[in-house]
Structure 1
Amino acid sequence: MRLIFLALAIWGAIHPMWYFLQWFAENGVDLGAMVDAWHANAASSGLVWDLTISAVALTVWVLAETWRTRNWTGLLAVPATFGIGVSCGLPLYLFLRSR
């Protein structure tokens, strides 16, 4: 399972980043415009909120478990979640906690 979590974390980092980099190549590195694009319609706004709430829930879980277990490497999942996405942060955390 550990290697599957690692593979999912890598995929979750590379695949979404491919689309972000394409968008930046077409529109420049304008985070405000990217946020506007995320809210282009109700469906995409719903997805943004779904992922935001999932990211917050994951962060609360990571912080609570890290506090309890003192597995400080698990905290790497927090910047991965907010810098890349839940698709990277969640499997990364599962990989780190399974050592």
Structure 2
Amino acid sequence: MKRIYLFLAIVGAIIPYIFYFQFIQVEGLNFSLFIMELFGSKAASGFTADVLLATVAFWFFIFQRSKNPTAPRPLLFFILSCTVGLSCALPAYLYANEKHANNVT
């Protein structure tokens, strides 16, 4: 499973950035327009809200899990989720969790 998680983390970093770069090429670094477009329609708003809520749940999970000495440290995955997205941070965390678990046992 580690290889699958690593592959998904890489794909989860590349795919969102393709769209981000396309936006930046057309609109530049217009953060307010970017936010407006995230909530530009009812469908986009629902999808954005879903991803934001899942990301917050992920944060609670990784910080709660970090109390376990066998769990990866959460800071990197928190930063990944804020800068790249959950599509990269979650599989990266799962990869690190399996890698760390294999090194502990």
* Smaller-chain TM-score bracket: over 0.9
Q: Any conservation in 1 of the 2:59–2:78 contact (CA below 8 Å)? A: yes
| Worse-superposed segment, 5-14 or 75-84 | 75-84
> Deviations along 1:26-83, whole A, 9 cap, x unmatched?
0011111100011111000000100000000001101011122264544311111111
**Number of aligned positions between the proteins:** 99
SS of the counterpart of 1:98?
A: helix
Q: Which runs of 5+ in 2 are unaligned?
A: 100-105
Question: How far apart, in 2, do the equivalents of 1:63 and 1:17 lie?
Answer: 26
Give, as a single letter, the amino acid of the residue that structure 2 aligns with 1:95: Y
Q: Which runs of 5+ in 1 are unaligned?
A: none
> Deviations along 1:73-99, whole A, 9 cap, x unmatched?
443111111111110011000001111
**Structure-2 residue corresponding to 1:13:** 13
1:29-40 mapped onto 2 (5 Å cutoff):
29-40=29-40
**Structure-1 residue corresponding to 2:103:** none
1:75-86 mapped onto 2 (5 Å cutoff):
75-86=75-86
Sequence identity, in percent?
27
Q: Any conservation in 1 of the 2:77–2:93 contact (CA below 8 Å)? A: yes
Give, as a single letter, the amino acid of the residue that structure 2 aligns with 1:41: S
Question: How far apart, in 2, do the equivalents of 1:65 and 1:33 lie?
Answer: 36
Question: How far apart, in 1, do the equivalents of 2:42 and 2:28 lie?
Answer: 24
- What is the RMSD computed on CA atoms of the aligned residues? 1.2
**Structure-2 residue corresponding to 1:45:** 45
